[in-house]
Amino acid sequence: MQVTRMVQPLLPFCQRLLPCKLAGISVALLKATALDIAILAAHLLLYPSGMAQERRSPSAPALAAGDLGEDPTRLPTRAQPPVVLLHGFIDNRSVFLLLRRSLAQHGRHRVESLNYSPLTCDIRIAAELFGRHIEEICERTGSSRIDVVGHSLGGLIARYYVQRLGGDARVRTLVTLGTPHAGTRVAPLANAHPIVRQMRPGSEVIAELSQPAPGCRTRFVSFWSDLDHLMDPMESARIDHPDLVTENVQVSGIGHLALPVHPAVATGIRQALDADETGSATAPAPAAHTDGLTVA
């Protein structure tokens, strides 16, 4: 990406200053940090546009294949479930601008972004409210199940809804991006905020999510980055649970803020959502897979 080219003049200096292996790590971190800074600057400009909830038609019907301008001579395909996007801490739906565009360009025409209040102080309450939104979306679209993509805290809220509030009956696939599934120790000074305390290792919420979840019907796909500065340890963004059908995808070369906007990750998200088009409400036997995605 063009942003990473800005750090190219610094590479020889880093390589002379540091041992070879350490220099490689530092250069990658430098690139990821530069990209995160650029994304943060752009996102600050877009942030006001996403503060209000998304406008929706009160009676939006489910789209048929012919409504999408598809070739009428082709055989009909199974209707894809709606996709719901849920942002992270102190953020809003504007973070998903590029991901929404990517999903729409590849056939996902029923995509909605939800905002939860920046004053949210309890993941459990946020999950309950999220569940009400999901019920409303299912009723409005006529879909019995949906897919969810959650960034950071948004992924944790969605997982709590699925795993602890019966949301597995509604959510077919949950994709999380840089979500602290095992808790994160970063920024200890932020402990004054109650929702940050709930994202710490050993918190009551993290403990609840580690409890047995037999028969959970949702498939989980977790994207975690080896340069995510908000995950401590970085592996905390993986899902490791014996009762859940999970796939952990390690992303190399980008940081936390780039996960919902990078085109390579968007491709991985689309592949994750398209992996199960059977429409079956019964998940296969739990299994954990690890894959890799290099974007630098």
Mean pLDDT to the nearest integer, 11-19: 42
pLDDT score at 66: 40
pLDDT score at 37: 84
pLDDT score at 35: 80
Give dist(CA 191, CA 202) in Å, integer: 14
DSSP 62: P
Contacts for 190-197 with beta carbons within 8 Å, 24 or more apart? 193/121, 194/121, 194/122, 195/89, 195/120, 195/121, 195/122, 195/123, 195/153, 196/89
pLDDT of 272 above 50: yes
What would the two tokens of residue 167 be?
Answer: 């949301």
CB 109 within 8 A of CB 63: yes
- CA 191 to centroid of chain Cα atoms: 23
Give dist(CA 216, CA 127) in Å, integer: 17
Model-level pTM greater than 0.85? no
Mean pLDDT to the nearest integer, 213-236: 96
Query: With bands split at pLDDT 50, 70 and 90, how would you rate the model's confidence at 289?
Result: low
Cβ-Cβ contacts under 8 Å for 9 (sequence gap 6 or more): none
Contacts for 132-139 with beta carbons within 8 Å, 24 or more apart? 133/84, 134/84, 134/161, 134/167, 134/170, 134/171, 135/170, 137/82, 137/84, 137/112, 138/170
Mean pLDDT to the nearest integer, 200-217: 97
Q: For the chain, give the mean pLDDT.
A: 82
pLDDT of 53 above 90: no
pLDDT score at 36: 82
pLDDT score at 6: 43
Query: With bands split at pLDDT 50, 70 and 90, how would you rate the model's confidence at 84?
Result: very high
What's the Cα-to-Cα distance from 11 to each of 23, 37, 113, rounded to whole Å?
Answer: 9, 18, 39
Give the gyration radius of the chain's Cα atoms. Answer: 19
CB 134 within 8 A of CB 86: no
pLDDT score at 79: 75
Mean pLDDT to the nearest integer, 159-170: 98
